[in-house]
Amino acid sequence: MTDLWQNSMDHAVAAARRAGQVVQQALQDDRKVMTKSSSVDLVTQTDQRVEQLIIQSVKEKFPTHRFIGEESVAAGEPCVLTDDPTWIIDPIDGTTNFVHAFPFVAVSIGFSVNKQVEFGVVYSCLEDKMFTARRGRGAFCNGEPLQVSHQTDIKQSIIATEFGSSRDPEAVDKIFSSLRNVLCIPIHGVRGAGTAAVNMCLVASGCVEAYYETGIHVWDVAAGSLIVSEAGGVLMDTEGGEVDLMSRRIVAANNRTIAERIIREIDPFSPTRDDAPSKSSQ
Ligand code: IPD
Ligand code: CA
Ligand code: CA
Ligand code: CA
């Protein structure tokens, strides 16, 4: 498709950069921390403010577009993906990192049409890295093209994952049993940046071979998934087969060999929180 979505993407890049400045500024101030579904599911006024700033700026320019934003959904907006042009926003991916000033915090903006992500923007604001991808046009970091790792031997790989926010011992056991299987392949190591979006950008950059997680939401992975695939990587469901961005689980890898090996080792349903899929409609 010609330059139909280029204006929207330019707007997303500018909005993500402005949002990143707000996040960085907020790191200088006291951060008032609130909780959502549990005592470890954190949110701050900055998450809410940044999301509103992005949504307002988009509404002014593209009044017919729809939104799915993490904090709007938390406030009761529906989380439904339709065929309409939709901005999928995670205002701060890595809120726990932000609260602790752990230096990986991202603003993630995906844009989907007909339920297909057309562009993705992830701004890792404390590193000042702007990751972008447009469908069919490659992935970039600060304008430089990205390419996934060429490694096909999982034993020579680093795999990224996260521990989620469930502290239910049974759920934690499941996460650790998957992790144990992966680690004991054996692989070179396990990493986790504390943000799904940055983990996916690390796959796209070739620094880690794969990232997997269950319990994620569409706003965690919409932008990152396109950045991975445009950098030459693959996306799969944790049960195998095609990924559905609303299904709350994902394997993003440099290639199918690595993805399929991970899928063999993990429990596809190990919940990191409540595991209910979000809705897609039409
Ligand atoms: C979380 C981060 C984290 C991942 C969780 C996400 P948030 O997003 O991406 O790395 O493990 O699944 O919910 O709440 O910081 O936007
Ligand atoms: Ca997130
Ligand atoms: Ca968030
Ligand atoms: Ca959150």
Residue range(s) defining the domain that contains residue 82: 6-145
For the chain, percent helix, then strand, then coil, each to nearest 5?
35, 25, 40
Q: Which of 145, 174, 191 is the last residue of a domain?
A: 145
Q: Which atom of ligand 1 is nearest to the CA of 162?
A: 11
43 φ/ψ angles, rounded to the nearest 5 degrees: -150, 150
| Closest-lying ligand 1 atom to the alpha carbon of residue 215 | 12
In order, the DSSP letters of 113-168 are ETTEEEEEEEEETTTTEEEEEETTS-EEETTEE--------GGG-EEEE---S---
Residue with CA at minimum distance from ligand 1 atom 3:
195
Res 280: pLDDT: 56
Q: What is the pLDDT of residue 275?
A: 45
Where among 145, 179, 205 does a domain terminate?
145
Indicate the average pLDDT of the chain. 94
| 36 alpha carbon, closest ligand | 4
Catalytic residue among 93, 118, 162, 213: 93
Active-site annotation holds for 173: no
CA distance 30 to 20: 17
121 and 15 within one domain:
yes
Residues 65 and 82 in one domain: yes
Residue 267's pLDDT band (cuts 50, 70, 90): confident
Residues 179 and 265 in one domain: yes
Give tens-digit pLDDT for 107-134.
Answer: 999 999 999 999 999 999 999 999 999 9
- The band of 273, judged by pLDDT with boundaries at 50, 70 and 90, is very low
Write down the catalytic residue from 47, 51, 71, 90.
90
pLDDT digits (tens, 9 = 90+) for 15-71: 999 999 999 999 999 889 999 999 999 999 999 999 999 999 999 999 999 999 999
Ligand nearest to the CA of 43: 4
- Tell me if 228 CB under 6 Å of ligand 1: no
Spatial contact of 218 and 231, defined as CB atoms under 8 Å apart: no
Residue 278 banded pLDDT, cuts 50, 70, 90: low
Q: Give, for ligand 1, the residue of 34, 41, 162, 191 to mutate: max count of ligand atoms closer than 8 Å to Cβ.
A: 162
| Whether residue 161 sits in one domain with residue 140 | no
- The one-letter code for the residue type at 261 is R
pLDDT of residue 137: 97
Position with higher pLDDT, 78 vs 281 = 78
Q: How many CB atoms lie within 10 A of CB 146?
A: 22
Q: Domain end: 112, 145, 178, which one?
A: 145
Token duo for residue 251: 């394997």
Q: Whose CA is closest to 262, among 204, 221, 217, 209? A: 209
Calculate mean pLDDT across residues 220-241: 98
Whether the CB-CB separation of 137 and 35 falls below 8 Å is answered with no
Encoded amino acid at 275, one letter: D
**pLDDT of 154 above 90:** yes
Give the angle subtended at the CA of 184 by the CAs of 180 and 186, to the nearest 5°.
145
Rounded Cα–Cα distance for residues 33 and 282 (Å):
37
What CATH number does the domain containing 63 carry?
3.30.540.10
pLDDT at 83 over 90: yes
Three-state SS for 247? coil
Q: Is 216 in the pocket of ligand 1 (CB under 6 A)?
A: yes
Top mutation candidate among 71, 105, 216 for ligand 1, by most atoms within 8 Å of CB: 216
* Same-domain check for residues 199 and 125: no
- 1: in domain: no
- The ipTM is 0.98
